[in-house]
Structure 1
Amino acid sequence: MPEPSPSSQRRGRRLLRFGAACVVLSAVAGYVVVQYVTGGADDPGCRVVSGAADGATYEFTPEQAVNAATIAAVGTDREMPERAVAIALATAIQESGLRNLSHGDRDSLGLFQQRPSQGWGTAKQVTDPAYAASIFYEHLAKVPDYTELPLTVAAQRVQRSGYPEAYAKHETDAVLLAAALTGTSAATLTCDGRVGTATVTGPTAVRAALARDFGRDALREADAEADDDGETSAAADSDVPAAQTDGRTVTLPVSRKTTAAGRGVRERGWQLAHWAVANASALHIERVSYAGREWTAGNTDSRWRATDAGSTEAAGASGSAGGTGSVRIVTGQ
């Protein structure tokens, strides 16, 4: 049997290398597709569960949690209903996997893949999550009867996507997230609380992030009406921030009408509490407590646990009953 010629051997080696390269590229391409579709939640760190008994859950990363919390906060600050927040979240899951992308189709950028060339704003604006969410809601509010439309139809009328049915597959996850991040569903969002890479941490960073997502009013007493005893809070009519800072702790008073669009104390309190947990890794938050429940970073199950009824952390319990309570956020430094 004749020996293979050197040229045949070289061709064979080239074919083997080519085949191996194809396999690697296919694997990489598959990984990229999966990461885009799932939002890269292979190491989630955060989890939201249904407040009902249906067992529905959604897992996502700390990065996605921060962006989702911003979208929800901007929505409630604009007095948008929970349905609007769900539509916005489903849209962002589909468009970017809830990641603030610096690239996309043509000049598409950010959480919603908004295009500066189509009038959505400058590149800097559409890659600012708070701005991107706000301009999305501005367009959504102009869609007639959007709360009555199927989610994918409402989202498509804003986005004008080439894949108009794509948003529907994210509706279940978006509804779960919206319920937690608007405070409708209590103690349903948890994160591991792993340390992030933020350079500015502590109460100062928490206050700055609250102002970024909710607006400056999140740091002030929103209820200027007389309390049940006919007395008015000293902070109600002043410029003194109601968000009190003591060492590593930020305390956010929650009282009647502290949230827009008629949402109550309980919802506002749980929205702020879930927002803090969603930002735990980014802001180095160690504990969050409200309404007699507490989340602690680093727990193996990251559950909200009942606090001692006589402890300071239980001070927010009255909020769940319609009175005045507080959300307490304890930072790592």
Structure 2
Amino acid sequence: MSESAAPASRPRRGRRVRVAASFAVLLAVAGYVAMRYESGGGGTPTCVVGSGSHTYTLSPEQAANAATISAVGTTRKMPERAVTIALATALQESALRNIDYGDRDSLGLFQQRPSQGWGTPEQIMDPVYSAGIFYDRLAEVPGYSRLPLTVAAQRVQRSGFPQAYAKHEPDAALLAAALTGRSAASLTCAPIRGAKPGDPERVRGELVRAFGPAVLGGAPGAGAADGPEDGKGGGTGPGGTAPGGAGGTASARPEGGGGDPRTVRLPVPAQVGSSGPEGGAADGGSRRGWELAQWAVAQAQALRVTEVAYAGRVWSAREADEGWREDGSGGRPETAEVVIRVAE
């Protein structure tokens, strides 16, 4: 009996294998479709800065780290050139990733070494601290803003490959222009979207860590210094913390009067002398406003940000492929605010 049943069992086993394989393919397709939906329809989550033929593509993780580096620099009144130098350095040292390994005891975005007086491992792994102490050392380099980028970076880093920083200057300059707010509506991201809600208090806390407590109250803010002198802001020192403190928390600004509790609103006063008339950026709004707005977009995946609006433009995670769209409000720079909405 077993001999006569064997031939019939082989086709049945074959059918089961084919059904299982078909089911696996369907699951893979479903996963791919879900990924495209969750990332705004673009597949792998990405961020793009620049326009036309001059663009640079990076991951949301890299964009978030770049935004932190820029925010710490402008809060210290460092010029945009200093932000470009810092970003190019981090691109070379870690590809803008906060890595916990490197040559000998090197760590973090800038591959700083605890044994060389850069701070404790815990401090160096905090992007706010590591960016702050990089700017401290850069500010000590005489005339750094007039030096070739690779020379200025090498004076700080003492790298074994001193010419390596120069190749990152074009991409770093694009990022610096967007993240300091000089280049309006020039950074967009397509983050992964999911079921996990965002936390407005966490957004406020990260704003304070990067920009200092005044950012929540609509104070003018530092902004990148554009004068001919090298900017020198308050330092952290090897044992200190950067603006807002490593554990800084924001004083909550609740959305009263029936406002949306998932929205963070940042008043943006008009700025004079930053870029264009009354500090306005090329696409309207102030440089400070675009700095905050594009910081929020760069942090979208980490902070579960779903929408950012400023100066009559809006970025949405669901329509990320459209970039910054007109929202029809015609926002005025002197009364504008940056509106950040997180996932429900």
TM-score range, shorter chain: 0.7 to 0.9
Distance 1:95 1:264 in 2: 34
Structure 1 match to 2:97: 99
Do the aligned residues in 2 keep the contact of 1:76 with 1:259 (CA within 8 Å)? no
Do the aligned residues in 1 keep the contact of 2:180 with 2:291 (CA within 8 Å)? yes
- Taking structure 1 as reference, are residues 123 and 258 closer, same or farther at Cα in structure 2, changes over 3 Å only? farther
Q: Which structure has more RCO (C-alpha within 8 Å, separation ≥ 6)?
A: 2
Structure 1 match to 2:332: 318
Listed one character per residue, the Cα deviations across residues 158-205 of structure 1 (whole Å, up to 9, x for unaligned) are: 0000000000000000000000000000000000022379x8832111
Gaps of 5+ in 2: 1-42, 222-249, 281-285
Q: How does 1:228-307 map to 2 (within 5 A)?
A: 245=255, 246-257=260-271, 264=279, 266-299=286-319, 301-307=321-327
Listed one character per residue, the Cα deviations across residues 107-151 of structure 1 (whole Å, up to 9, x for unaligned) are: 000000000000000000011000000000000001111111111
Listed one character per residue, the Cα deviations across residues 194-241 of structure 1 (whole Å, up to 9, x for unaligned) are: 2379x88321111011011111121123159xxxxxxxxxxxxxxx96
SS at match of 2:306: strand
Using structure 2 for the length normalisation, give the TM-score: 0.71
Letter in 2 for 1:267: R
Structure 1 match to 2:67: 69
Using structure 1 for the length normalisation, give the TM-score: 0.74
Query: How many residues of Structure 1 are paired with residues of Structure 2 in the alignment?
Result: 264
Distance 1:173 1:223 in 2: 28
Q: Which ranges of 4 or more aligned residues in structure 1 deviate by more than 3 Å?
A: 240-246, 256-261
Partner of residue 210 from structure 1, selected from 207, 211, 224:
207
Do the aligned residues in 1 keep the contact of 2:197 with 2:342 (CA within 8 Å)? no
Deviation at 1:257, TM superposition (A): 4.9
Distance 1:163 1:330 in 2: 43
Structure 1 match to 2:32: none
Gaps of 5+ in 1: 1-41, 225-239
Listed one character per residue, the Cα deviations across residues 251-281 of structure 1 (whole Å, up to 9, x for unaligned) are: 10000359999x9461100000000000111
SS at match of 2:297: helix
Listed one character per residue, the Cα deviations across residues 51-106 of structure 1 (whole Å, up to 9, x for unaligned) are: xx6x2000000100110000000000000000000000000000000000100000
Partner of residue 164 from structure 1, selected from 137, 162, 165:
162
Q: Percent identity?
A: 57
Structure 2 match to 1:22: none
Do the aligned residues in 1 keep the contact of 2:45 with 2:190 (CA within 8 Å)? no
Do the aligned residues in 2 keep the contact of 1:220 with 1:242 (CA within 8 Å)? no
SS at match of 2:193: coil
SS at match of 2:332: helix
